[in-house]
Structure 1
Amino acid sequence: MLEQEKSNKKYYIMIAVAVVAALIWSMSVIEVKPLSKEGIVIAKNIFRGIFHPSMDFLFNFTRQGVPFLLLETIAIAVLGTLFGSILALPLAFLSATNIVPRPIAVVMRFINMAIRTVPPFVYGLMFIRVTGPGASAGVLTLAVVSIGMIAKMFTETIEDLDQGIIESMEASGASLFQKIRFGVIPQLKADFLSLLLYRFDMNLRDATILGLVGAGGIGAPLIFAMNSYRWNQVGAILIGLFLLIFVVEAISSRIRRYLLHGK
């Protein structure tokens, strides 16, 4: 017992030393510059504007107001998640080693990894060149970005299911489609929906960020307001985003809890 405690203590000490060493190395690489007087004045203006938001902009129900921009952001996230999940589903099944032969699964996982390698901003800039600035580029970007993550998580979920059902179906001569339709989907329906809700939460935040490069949503007006130093409009947009994320998070959490636990 004492030897195990000593071993655990050494292990924790090694982890602490590694963390401290990484921190020291990071601080030596990053150059920290002090704030200038102009920077302090700008910071004061930012916080003053954010904490005194423009109510006219926040409750403007035209196409240029915060409510419509938030609605567009939600629509981009919904469509991106749906299209991404539809494309990710066959990729996930073809990447699961308990469904298809290992060589096929390895190739499909490599394709999935290649999709996840490209950052969302790069996809956004690429699709803007194809469709032009706007919501279409945002939808396509989120759909492609969602494929990588959803397929990966779906694959891990598929590989953790009960193998007895699949083995019994194989013994009875079931085809690949029949194994998926009657052996896999009934077991994983709740997990799949839960993962889609989780990805939707992420896409909602990504849709805001992608707007910064012109891919639709509320991100474009946010960066325009920041570039023109209209910090009261920035405050109004941030309030709208906070309320949107809060409501969506509360609803999706309840749905996930119902799907996984039935209450």
Structure 2
Amino acid sequence: MNLMNFIIRKYITKLLTIVFIGFILIIAYMQYDTKTFLLGFKRIHNLLGRMYPIDFSILPELKQPIVETINIALFSSILALCTALLLLPILTNVLFRLKIIPKVFSAFFSVFRTMPFLIIAAILVSLFSTGVFSGFVSIYLINLLTAAKLLKEYAEEVELKQLEAMESLGSSKFVIYKNAILSNLKPQVISVYFLTLESSIRGASVLGLVGAGGIGQRLWQELNHLRYDRVSIIVITLVILIFIIDLVSYYFRNLQNTSQLTFERFILRKNVVRVAIPLIILGSIVYVTKFINISHERFFIGVKQLSVLGNGIITPDLAYSTKMFSELLVSIEIAFSATIFAAVTAIFTSYLSSVNLFGKYKALSMKVFINILRTFPPIIVALIFFRGFGPGAISSFFALYIYTVGVMTKMYNEVLEGINNNVLLMTKSLGLGSFVSYVKIIFNGYFPEFVTIVLYRFEANIKNSTILGMVGAGGIGHLLVNNIEYRNWNRISTLLIGLSLSIIIIENISYFIRMRVKK
């Protein structure tokens, strides 16, 4: 590509971006006028005012829901990781060289991974009644699918020469799996566990919105009773809980093994791990069977109803497709517009929170603000905006926008803070200001990484917009929760097929764009 073509393409890209953002703004203005926005924000301001003074008297009553939330997140992550490790040999062709079996299982897992956890929880509640059991199983399934995908990718990076060497020595498949694969995946296994735990604590905190246990159930109850002074303390408790889990997760994922271990300490640690892991797994299974608290009668009734669900799922109501497509389009529009506006915002917030670009002390306050945005589960923000703007897409948009700004800023900020000091010195030597050099040089240089982050968040926001629709914030989630309530399994099948296909198509388009940008 010659210089002239490069310049032309650059200006055309900028022009198209400006036109596109302007087009979205025009559509938004046509649907929601200025008076609607002002009235909505006035209502939210009144709502926030009613959250003070905070009612601390309910703190003792929150103990049990908080314990339920932590139990669901903690033990579902442990058991899901163990299950994923057991399934790992059939998910990869590293051990058995069978191409068809891993492909079938991977395709099966990929389809189910497109289903948002709150939809699974709502379906389980309709089958097995309200309670912790439905919430635990839904989070367990999502954690299993996530852990299996990540571990599969890590396992396929194991050196084939090491496997072939062990095979040539006559080692059994189990020995090869244990010594060649699991031993190499130890750091990744720990990382995957804490990643799923972070996700689980956010998920478990809102399971109560569909009656699946946890602190979300009490949040929904107080919202319905208009006790905003109690809602505030529940939200603060949730934020603190998620923040603590994030800190613990961050510490362990970044904990480096010291190389100064003596032989005696190495043997001691190895023996402790050998004893501790089986005890943790066994203890988790025993404890889970006690705290999920479902009677045998209720369990078997739910199992019988699974056959009814299965019959409905395999016979979708195709006449419902038109309704499904119209609401699915709304969910995609919400996810897309929220991601685009969040991406534009994240360009500036990433700079303001980067220590090496904006300054250590000046960036600290922005980092704290971004962490607060990232900590709030989108569904809670949607509930607040729902009270201000009423049911509809605008509540979902703001919820996704706020959360996505926090996540994207954090991710791109890590890229910026990893820049080589020589690059920064080069930009300073040109005599450009800090922000000008960021926009003109650094952002352009790390644009592929930014696009990758934006595309990943868009994929995630498709699922998030579906969940938000379940609490009246517009989109296909609204149809799902209504049909789940009336057990219209044929229509639910149509909705899930449409949702899964759209997510798979978007993921493939996103992957293609990421590969093109990286070239």
The verdict on a shared fold, with TM-score over 0.5 as the criterion, is yes
Paired with 1:259 and 1:5, the residues of 2 have a C-alpha distance of 48
Q: Summarize deviations over 1:126-184 as a string: whole Å, max 9, x none.
A: 11111111111111111011011000001001112232122122234321222212331
The 5 A counterparts of 1:93-242 are 93-242=351-500
Counterpart residue identity of residue 478, structure 2:
A
Q: Distance in 2 between matches of 1:122 and 1:46?
A: 30
The 1:182–1:230 alpha-carbon spacing in structure 2 relative to 1, beyond 3 Å, is same
RMSD: 2.2
Task: Name stretches of at least 5 consecutive residues in structure 1 with no aligned partner.
Answer: none
- State how far apart, in whole Å, the 2-side matches of 1:132 and 1:142 are: 16
What is the SS of the residue equivalent to 1:161? coil
Shift in Å, 1:77: 0.5
- 1:31 has 2:292 as partner: yes
In the alignment, the residues of structure 2 paired with residue 55 and residue 197 of structure 1 have an alpha-carbon distance, to the nearest angstrom, of: 31
Structure 1 range deviating more: 176-185 or 233-242: 176-185
Q: For structure 1, which segment, 162-171 or 189-198, has the greater mean C-alpha deviation from structure 2 after superposition?
A: 162-171
Q: 1:51 aligns with which of 311, 314, 318?
A: 314
Q: Verify the 8 A CA contact 1:211 1:219 in the aligned structure 2.
A: yes
Name the CA shift for 1:127/1:107 in 2 (closer, same or farther; >3 Å). Answer: same
- Cα deviation for residue 223 of structure 1 reads 0.4
Q: Percent identity?
A: 28
Deviation for aligned residue 1:32: 4.9
Q: 1:216 to 1:19 in 2, by over 3 A?
A: farther
Contact 1:121-1:210 at 8 Å conserved across structures: yes
Give the partner amino acid of 1:212.
M
The code of the aligned residue for 1:55 comes to: L
Selected match of 2:328 from 67, 70, 73: 70
Query: Distance in 2 between the 1:86 and 1:53 partners?
Result: 40
C-alpha displacement of 1:26: 3.5
* TM-score normalized with structure 2 length: 0.46
C-alpha distance 117-9 of structure 1, shift in aligned 2 (>3 A): same
In structure 2, give the amino acid aligned to 1:82: I
> Could you tell me whether the CA contact under 8 Å between 1:161 and 1:187 is conserved in 2?
no
Instruction: Tell me, yes or no, if structure 1 residue 41 matches structure 2 residue 299.
Output: no
Gaps of 5+ in 2: 1-260
Deviation, 1:7, is: 6.7
Aligned to 2:181: none
Task: Mark the CA change 1:40 to 1:179 in structure 2 (over 3 Å): closer, same or farther.
Answer: same
Seen in structure 2, the aligned counterparts of structure 1 residues 184 and 234 have a Cα distance that, compared at 3 Å, is same
Which amino acid in structure 1 is aligned with residue 409 of structure 2?
A: A
> What amino acid does structure 2 have at the position aligned with 1:171?
S
Distance in structure 1 (CA, Å) of the matches to 2:305 and 2:420: 59
Q: Which moved more, 1:228-237 or 1:13-22?
A: 13-22
- 2:507 aligned with 1:249: yes
- CA–CA separation in structure 1 for the residues paired with 2:470 and 2:279: 36
Q: Give the total of aligned pairs.
A: 254
C-alpha spacing 1:120/1:26, structure 2 compared with 1 (3 Å): farther
2:80 equivalent in structure 1: none
1:197 CA displacement: 0.3
For 1:132 and 1:95, locate their aligned partners in 2 and report how far apart those are by CA, in whole Å.
Answer: 34
Kept in 2, the 8 Å contact 1:81–1:143? The answer is yes
**In structure 1, how many angstroms separate the alpha carbons of the residues matched to 2:374 and 2:279?**
30
Please give the alpha-carbon distance, in whole angstroms, between the structure 2 residues aligned to 1:44 and 1:117: 39
Superimposed CA distance per residue, residues 40-70 of structure 1 (whole angstroms, 9 cap, x where no aligned partner)? 3322222221121111112x2xxxx111111
- For the residues of structure 2 that align with 1:203 and 1:250, how far apart are their CA atoms? 15
Question: Residue 390 of structure 2 aligns to which amino acid in structure 1?
Answer: G
